Amino acid sequence: MAEVAGAPDWLGVCEYPGHTPAEMAIEVGSAALAAAHVPPAEVRWVVHAGASVQGAIGWPVHHHIQHGIVGANGNALELRQYCAGGLASWIVAGGLLTDDAGVVVCTGADNWSFGGRFVSSASTWGEPYSDVAHAEVLSSSEGFAMVLGTGTTSLPGRAEQWRLRDNYWEHPTLADYATTYARASSESTLQSAGETYRMVMEAVESALADADIQPADVTHFVPHPTGSGQPCLQIAKTMGLPWSDLLYRYHLAHGYLSVSAGTAALIRLAELELLKEGNIILMVATEFQLSSTAVVLEIIRRPALIVRDLITAVS
């Protein structure tokens, strides 16, 4: 962990310098598969998501990750939905599980050690980028949790304001991210903030309806992390969802966990022994204020915790 300067809301950031996102994804993917007691031969797909640079241009990083986790078994694809990619990969995995056989491994990873990770937060008071990876094993058979419903929305007309550079063949630098973040922030208005609020709200309402769950039935609300807590804090107040200062402070203490934020929060709840049989978990993530994905889970049984070095797994 490193201390954050120039971003008053954020207390710390996770650093794992010198490790590529692909290496991190292989580590956590292998740990998740072992925790689920699933042999590699049963894996049909590996679905990888990330927010930052994942590897050299033209390198099929998803197949490298597949080979590192399950060898020659199954197939792989890379999903680019940035910060919402973690939850979005679960929806994709559900479509790939067309019968009761086989499993899908979803991974996600970001490592910002290729440059000054505090450039964006120092210049815009935005989120400081952390190094983190996550993985889940999804199947049609019973695990410790079950997906009850999902919801998605998007505002694709905003995509242009997040264009990082005209030289599309070059990877963006952290300075590019900072410039783009600052430009998008400066173009924000009360109207656009309201549109973002309604977009996230629609995804949440859609997921709850799909799961046939009322807001009052939600045990834990896992929001998309921001320094102020908005817009999810206001959505929680409006809908009567349980807001957790504990999870809010957890994210501030670890830096912006981007594509892995939802899974990290779920594991944190397991570490605190707050996940119990019958609990309903509502999770939501956003992508550049362009899209939002929400997922409703039911805890089938209290998960077991497995800790090895820097990796924490639940099963």
pLDDT band at 157 (very low <50, low <70, confident <90, very high): very high
Position 197 scores a pLDDT of 96
Architecture of domain 147-314: 3-Layer(aba) Sandwich (3.40)
Partners of residue 313 on adjacent β-strands: 306
Q: Give the sign of the dihedral formed by CA 94, CA 50, CA 288, CA 290.
A: negative
Position 8 scores a pLDDT of 66
Residue 48 and residue 62 in contact, taking contact as beta carbons nearer than 8 Å: yes
CA distance linking residue 97 with residue 38, whole number of Å: 15
More confident residue, 300 or 53: 300
Phi, psi angles (nearest 5°) of residue 307: -120, 125
Has residue 79 got a pLDDT over 70? yes
Average pLDDT estimate for 228-242: 97
Percent of the chain's residues with pLDDT above 70: 96
CATH 3.40.47.10 residue ranges of the chain are 21-140, 147-314
Position 142 scores a pLDDT of 80
Position 206 scores a pLDDT of 99
CA distance linking residue 300 with residue 30, whole number of Å: 23
How many other C-beta atoms can be found within 10 angstroms of the C-beta atom of residue 8?
Answer: 10
Which residue, among 185, 148, 160, 161, has the nearest Cα to 299 in the 3D structure? 148
Has residue 226 got a pLDDT over 70? yes
Which of 53-57, 167-171, 177-181, 194-198 holds the top average pLDDT?
194-198
Has residue 6 got a pLDDT over 60? no
Position 165 scores a pLDDT of 84
Has residue 139 got a pLDDT over 90? yes
CA distance linking residue 283 with residue 261, whole number of Å: 10
Has residue 106 got a pLDDT over 80? yes
Fold classified for 21-140: Peroxisomal Thiolase; Chain A, domain 1 (3.40.47)
Position 124 scores a pLDDT of 62
Question: Taking the model in full, what pTM does it have?
Answer: 0.95
Position 7 scores a pLDDT of 63
Q: What is the pLDDT of residues 163-186, one digit of tens each?
A: 888 888 888 887 887 888 888 888
Position 247 scores a pLDDT of 97
